[in-house]
Amino acid sequence: MMEDELIKIWQSSPQAEQIKFEKSRLMLDMDNSLDRFHRLAKYGIIIEQIAVLIIIPVFLFYIYFVPHLLSKIASIWIAIWACWYMTLLRKFKKSKPKTLNLGYIDYLRENRTYMVNLKKWADRSMYWYVLPPMLGYFIFIIGPYLDGAIDEAFFIKLILIGLATVILTYFYTRWVVKTIYTPRLKKIDELIKVMEE
């Protein structure tokens, strides 16, 4: 009953008031969406940083204690990649838009720029996120195989695990772009257009 009355009041109100109401509703929806996105980004970055903080000492340890030369080279490669990735995560964290001293349209534009940059990185993740560490992984397991430390069946299982990881990561990043970045970017563009009218 109450909802029907509100709809009648809204429909009987002047056009300018309806537009203000629509803008307010769009702004609230966008604020909620951006809050969820920033929480996801924040926790994602924290999880990635923790993973990198585990990877670096593990592979530095492997440099000294794994006897196979190729595994040592792969460990150096992965440790260097992990250090580079940590600096990239810090850059992502610092580039998050600030809400202070911004008009609403400027705030939306900054969020759009931030999301576009993250979306570009996600689109290219195979080149910087998947291939470098997986190349290290494959080199790492080739070392013991060539030295006869692991048998062929186990080596093939390790190769299949690596390939499955690459494929799953590829499809996961495609899913993230499709379900997280693209819809929010579309909403931001629509709201900026409405706000500018």
Task: Specify if 1 maps to a domain.
Answer: no
φ and ψ at 99, to 5 degrees?
-90, -10
Q: With respect to residue 9, please indicate whether it lies within any of the assigned structural domains.
A: no
Is 3 inside any structural domain? no
Closest by CA to 130, choosing from 77, 92, 169, 78, is 169
Give the domain range for residue 65: 20-196
pLDDT of residue 175: 94
Those residues whose C-beta lies under 8 Å from the C-beta of residue 189, and which sit 6 or more positions away, are: 112
**Per the domain annotation, does 8 fall within a domain?**
no
CB-CB neighbours of 27 under 10 Å: 15
Is residue 15 assigned to a domain? no
The answer as to whether 27 is a domain residue is yes
CA end-to-end distance (rounded Å), the chain: 34
Does 11 map to a domain?
A: no
> Which amino acid is residue 166, in one-letter code?
V
Confidence of residue 4 (pLDDT cuts 50, 70, 90): low
When divided into structural domains, the chain yields a total of 1
Which H or E run includes 169? helix 152-176
In single-letter form, the type of residue at position 117 comes to N
Q: What is the pLDDT of residues 81-135, one digit of tens each?
A: 999 999 999 998 888 887 656 677 888 888 899 999 989 998 998 888 899 999 9
In this structure, are residues 80 and 52 in contact, taking their beta carbons and an 8 Å threshold? Answer: no
Task: List pLDDT tens digits, range 21-43.
Answer: 456 676 778 788 888 888 988 89
Rounded distance between C-alpha atoms, residue 6 and residue 16, angstroms: 17
Asked if residue 99 is part of any domain, the answer here is yes
